[in-house]
Amino acid sequence: MLSISMVLKKSYSLLLLLILISCQKVEKNVNQRISGFALGTTYSINYSDFSLSKEVLEKEVDSIIKVINSSMSTYIPDSDITRINKGDSLLKIDLHFEKVYNTASLVWKKTDGYFDPTVGALVNAYGFGPELNSSSVSKEIRNEILAYTGWDKTYLSSEKTIKKTHQKIFFDFNALAKGYTVDVISNHLRSKNIASFLVEIGGEIVAQGLSPKTKKVWKIAIDHPKQSKERKFIQLISLKNKALATSGNYRKYKINPETGKRSVHSINPKTGNSFPTEVLSASVLASTCMIADAFATALMVMPFEEGKALIENEADLEAYWIIEDEEGEIEEVFSSDFSLE
């Protein structure tokens, strides 16, 4: 499994529910499906080609996941990322690690440092990690953690080794690895000439072609941020030959004991400061799931207006935000070219 320590990321990893909708009678036996556990969450693969058996595909997917885990799982004691986190500066990384590292560098630069896979120690210090048990961080502690936080304190050498300026710098690729794995599996299906498929790991999705059941574009439902006992959805998104990733923090909040109001915060990895945010979730459409995954995480950390300006300037990205105003009302915001159909 992969660690969960990126900024307020995916403790709700099953945010998305795959919904297959049709106005016609559903045909029988037109869709193959496998599912299981991967990277600390669940996965599902729907595809249309019956010449590829489920048993064979399951073995091939397990093999892909095993290789990626051995490269980037912080839970495996001898994985590459664990060895690097422990200070191994001579290990030559594999192609999977290199692709993810280079993408992290790209998104870090494009987001002006708001996306940062070394920020986990700050997240945990403020109590927004797996344990919501902290309320404040002193200036001294914040400055101490900032000394070993920052993507610019790392680099990839020409020998394909990872260098760090501080031995305590800790990499966590949770905000890219699921999306990257979805991309690798999707490319595997394409190599077998599968015309239509949907690959999902923990809510990160790539869809190609049409749903074999409905003969229409795949439909993805987004959870409503204010759930009652019964599950509710706020939006339905069409997805064809695209990747979709969603990140949210509406299950990571604290209650102000004086006002009783919900307080949702993000952490600026550049300053180490926690700040209130109106952004409850962000969904990103992109050509690859790793890019969508990384930018969805970044949009949760960035102030809303900065995040919206960023997306509008990126020709290959579209985004959908769920925000909450001061009165607690929910508002949906779409980038200018985001299409639900």
| All domains in the chain, ordered by first residue | 16-334 (3.10.520.10)
> Which of the two residues, 332 and 134, has the higher pLDDT score?
332
pLDDT value at position 249?
77
Arithmetic mean of pLDDT, 48-65: 92
pLDDT higher than threshold 80 for residue 72: yes
pLDDT higher than threshold 60 for residue 121: yes
Mean pLDDT score of the chain, rounded to an integer?
86
16 — pLDDT class (breaks 50, 70, 90)? very low
CA dist., res. 332 & res. 30, Å (int): 35
pLDDT higher than threshold 90 for residue 232: no
1 — pLDDT class (breaks 50, 70, 90)? very low
15 — pLDDT class (breaks 50, 70, 90)? very low
pLDDT value at position 257?
62
Q: Are 161 and 93 in contact (CB under 8 A)?
A: yes
pLDDT in tens, 233-275: 899 999 999 999 999 876 666 656 665 555 567 788 989 888 8
Name the residue among 6, 34, 191 with its Cα closest to residue 115.
6
Name the residue among 106, 85, 81, 103 with its Cα closest to residue 93.
81
pLDDT in tens, 135-185: 578 899 999 999 999 999 999 999 999 999 999 999 999 999 999 999 999
